[in-house]
A = this chain, B = another copy of it.
Amino acid sequence: MSTGVPEGYDPHAFWPFAVTVDLAVFTVRDAALHVLLVERGQDPFRGRWALPGGFVLPRESADEAARRELAEETGLGPDAVGAFHLEQLRTYTDPDRDPRMRVVSVAYAALLPDLPEPRGGGDAASARWWGAGSAGPLAFDHDRILADARDRIGAKLEYTCLATEFCPAEFTLGELQQVYETVWGVELDRPNFRRKVLNAPGFVQPVEGPPRRTGGRGKPAALYRAGGATALHPPLLRPPPTEPSLSRPEGRTP
């Protein structure tokens, strides 16, 4: 703060940036990653789908604005929304990202379990879940924000216990594995996944009582809760993306 600092104190003497928050709200449903989108009712990008978001109010932080928007868009009470994972992603500041004026957007990623009532009762009547892969071209630079959000979530599953945020309060290891497979787009070996999760201290803790979950075919599974840990050490690395070029050590015959 040493250069180009305006000396006055009148806010209107400064460049009037508008500051918004944009939310990439994810959930795992039907073995697919879904993201909450809203349809724009006005120009620019009228009729296009966009990430939910809104302006940061004069007396709130961006974190508070994001939490408020999350409550409005999901239609859930602020108390319920307070339990969801919400983290700042990064800030998008291209001068031309909004054709109307100079808007910088602080992007957030939110992780929700698959809720019974997904569509919100807020003012966003046209909000709905979209498969994260099938979301068409979004308004503004929201395609990039969404891609960055997916990258971040996928990376954080490796070295944090974040996956439980996609699950209900009690869940099976199969459901937890489904989260990893859905976000990463890979298949994991079930016994190995089980061994890794159960050996990680504080990742999950077993639920006492009748250890069964019915509903599908097959043997009932034991239920678990999220443990107290947030970091996963050593990490649960996703299989490296099979590089097409390098070392193919074929040809050595024993």
Say whether B87 contacts A88, CB under 8 Å. Answer: no
Q: Who on chain B is nearest to A126 by CB?
A: B2
Q: Tell me the interface secondary structure of chain A in the complex.
A: loop
What 0/1 pattern do residues 54 to 97 of A give for CB contact below 8 A with B?
Answer: 11111111110000010011000000000000011011011100
Size range of the chain A interface in the assembly: 35 or more
Please measure, in the bound complex, the distance between the C-alpha atom of A146 and the C-alpha atom of B5, giving whole angstroms.
21
Say whether B17 contacts A1, CB under 8 Å. Answer: no
Chain B residues with CB under 8 Å of A18's CB are: 11, 14-15, 17
For window 84-128 of chain A, which residues contact chain B by CB distance below 8 Å? Answer: 87-88, 90-91, 93-95, 100-102, 104, 106, 122-124
Q: Who on chain B is nearest to A253 by CB?
A: B87
- A22 at interface by CB-CB < 8 Å: yes
Apart from A12-B16, A16-B16, A63-B93, what are 17 other A-B pairs with CB-CB below 8 Å?
A: A1-B54, A3-B69, A3-B122, A3-B123, A4-B57, A9-B100, A11-B101, A15-B16, A15-B18, A15-B19, A58-B95, A62-B104, A91-B91, A91-B106, A104-B106, A229-B248, A230-B249
